[in-house]
Amino acid sequence: MFPIRLQKRACTDAGKIERFLGQARTGFLGLASDNVPYVVPLNFVWKDNAIYFHGASEGRKIEMIAENPAACFTVSEEYGTIADPTPAHVDTAYMSAIIYGTIEKVVDWEEATAAMQVMLDKYVPGYFDRPLARTHLERYVSSMGSKTSVFKLVSSSISAKESEVNPAKMYFEGRKSHEDRH
């Protein structure tokens, strides 16, 4: 959607992006309504070219999605600091991705249950001794009295950036710049 300015940081390896989105733990859903931005951190899963997440069936996020379903979802993980004797060259090792698209409420119970099962497998692998029952989603009501809904952000574009870990240059406590100047 928007070109990456620093092209040397662009990651175009689809497999690497898939693996990154598959293991990353937290993403940030960006919404806008009436010229007011709103960004909320979420647990999520990347499945079938979409970000799936769940939440209450009511509230600010739901109202904003109803008014403007266009959204972005940002995932970023930091892997440490890259040391350099030149202060302007000190950097961060990271990977990030921004997914643009449109949010839809998942109304098919089979799809919603499958997405929630992938989420359980991601966040608590092996914890449950049987698959999630569709009836759990249909009946579950939160402590605040709201039903749970499953949503998906269907991707229209993805951009990813990275600065790879360089083991020889990673900062550690006690590392000194004068030791790196040779």
Identify the residue whose tokens are 């972005």: 72
pLDDT number for residue 5: 63
Average pLDDT over residues 127-150: 80
Which residue carries 């689809």 as its tokens? 14
For 16-38, what is each residue's pLDDT tens digit? 999 999 999 999 999 999 999 99
Average pLDDT in the 164-182 region?
A: 89
How do beta strands 27-33 and 36-42 pair? Answer: antiparallel
| The token pair that represents 125 in the structure block | 């692998």
Evaluate if residue 104 carries a pLDDT over 80.
yes
pLDDT band for 145, please (50, 70, 90 cuts): low
In the sheet with 27-33, reading across from the earlier edge strand, the strands are: 36-42, 27-33, 70-82, 91-105, 148-163, 50-56, 45-47
Average confidence score pLDDT of the chain: 90
Nearest-angstrom CA–CA distance, 31 and 64: 7
How much is the pLDDT for 10? 79
**Confidence band of 138 (pLDDT split at 50, 70, 90):** confident
> What is the per-residue pLDDT for 11?
82
Asked if residue 175 lies in contact with residue 167, where contact means CB atoms within 8 angstroms, the answer is no
CB 27 within 8 A of CB 75: yes
* pLDDT (mean) for 48-56: 93
On the question of pLDDT at 6 being above 70, the answer is no
In this prediction, residue 142 carries a pLDDT of: 64
